[in-house]
Structure 1
């Protein structure tokens, strides 16, 4: 199973070993040596999952997780804690803080890969349910209706003097244009010959880059700033 992982750990040896093992297992991995670096990377690229050490200088794993959970973009982002503190009370504290899995050091790398695959598999299943495989018809109809209503107001909405610069990749731009046509993720995936999961990732990145939280907000933002045709 492929996926983008952010690994945050202040121990260079462990960080390099975990990165190498994850990459050998098919994952793309970005690394950070502390929570501040991890937070900066989160702003640049939305991962599918975060693996974080708990005991780090200045900002520890609990504070880093709290910062993520307080940001709408990262509320549902799976987080795995790695820590030398393996007492039951420590694990309870981790789960109460909002982590999805807690793996005491030393650990078997195969167990870490299994945890990551499980969390990403569950996230993909949820995305499939939300994005059209077993859709909420009423919610889908509402979103499409709202987007079509925005499109009828296109001239009035897109009255800004000039587009604002946003660094979209060509594929992100294609997804944005199709969202603005009122298509849901399953339809976009079919149009672009890709997976629903990939489309969900692109839509999440569009939310992150535009500071929006829903498809309707995204389309309005795109129309207001001349970001879609």
Structure 2
């Protein structure tokens, strides 16, 4: 399942070139010409990762990043800076602001793809490990996933399509957990609904990840909506 990326850059030529390359690499990409437009898009459809320029009019990349990090939904969201500001002091400022990676222009698009894949893989591994070990997930990351699920529910009709020519064998309890995850409920709420333990819910969610080939609750719900699995 392709990750959803948001690319924010005020240079039309570069923005379209990077978008095309990322799409050719298998990602779904939304674009914005400035930070305010990017913020509006994030309220409608939360991305899995953000790529942003720094030098933009009105709201620059540092301010945009600060806005994201102050919102619980986006505190764990991977962010990459693409920028012409390549001095060491600029990079230090970016990392101190909470950016995950910093790629000065001009850059090799293959390097950008490698950074994106690495950040997404690390995030998925962290979430999977927390689920398998029964640990409490990072609150900011969980809040982000719940917010993404609720955003997906507003697009439920658009995402729905005819089921593919294959079936996924879910037990009745797995189906019940999937339905409640697709409602945007947290594990504690699901456990209360089903009169079971949070640990059991975590085990069912982990099985759903395995059966659907997804790595996060957001991907799981998107998959379920696209393939008519959530009831």
Same fold per superposition (TM over 0.5): yes
Q: Any conservation in 1 of the 2:3–2:48 contact (CA below 8 Å)?
A: yes
**Cα offset, 1:2, TM superposition:** 3.0
Answer yes or no: is 1:167 the counterpart of 2:185.
no
Q: Secondary structure at the match of 1:197?
A: coil
Q: 1:190 aligns with which of 207, 210, 218?
A: 207
Matched residues in 2 for 1:32 and 1:100: separation? Answer: 20
Match of 1:15 in 2: 15
Matched residues in 1 for 2:202 and 2:29: separation? Answer: 25
Q: Secondary structure at the match of 2:51?
A: strand
Q: Any conservation in 1 of the 2:69–2:75 contact (CA below 8 Å)?
A: yes
Matched residues in 1 for 2:203 and 2:212: separation? Answer: 9
Cα 1:185–1:51 shift into 2, 3 Å? farther
Match of 1:91 in 2: 91
> What runs of 5+ residues in structure 2 fail to find an aligned partner?
138-152, 161-177, 192-199, 223-230
Match of 1:210 in 2: none
Matched residues in 2 for 1:185 and 1:25: separation? Answer: 32
Match of 1:149 in 2: none
Q: Any conservation in 2 of the 1:127–1:200 contact (CA below 8 Å)?
A: no
**Cα offset, 1:201, TM superposition:** 4.2
Matched residues in 1 for 2:202 and 2:12: separation? Answer: 39
Count of aligned pairs: 177
Matched residues in 2 for 1:185 and 1:14: separation? Answer: 42
**Cα offset, 1:168, TM superposition:** 6.3
Match of 1:199 in 2: 217
After superposition, the C-alpha distances for 1:143-192 in whole angstroms (9 at most, x for unaligned) are xxxxxxxxxxxxxxxxxxxxxxx736378855245855426355136358
User: How does the TM-score come out when normalised to structure 2?
Assistant: 0.68
Matched residues in 1 for 2:96 and 2:190: separation? Answer: 41
**Cα offset, 1:197, TM superposition:** 1.4
Q: Any conservation in 1 of the 2:10–2:56 contact (CA below 8 Å)?
A: yes
Matched residues in 2 for 1:53 and 1:186: separation? Answer: 40
**Cα offset, 1:130, TM superposition:** 1.9
Q: Any conservation in 2 of the 1:5–1:29 contact (CA below 8 Å)?
A: yes
- Displaced runs of 4+ in structure 1, greater than 6 A? none
Cα 1:56–1:185 shift into 2, 3 Å? farther
**Cα offset, 1:114, TM superposition:** 0.5
CA RMSD, aligned part only?
A: 2.8
Cα 1:10–1:176 shift into 2, 3 Å? same
Answer yes or no: is 1:51 the counterpart of 2:51.
yes
Match of 1:162 in 2: none
Greater shift, 182-191 or 84-93, is seen at 182-191
Q: Any conservation in 1 of the 2:51–2:81 contact (CA below 8 Å)?
A: yes
> What runs of 5+ residues in structure 1 fail to find an aligned partner?
141-165, 205-228
**Cα offset, 1:46, TM superposition:** 1.2
Matched residues in 2 for 1:189 and 1:134: separation? Answer: 10
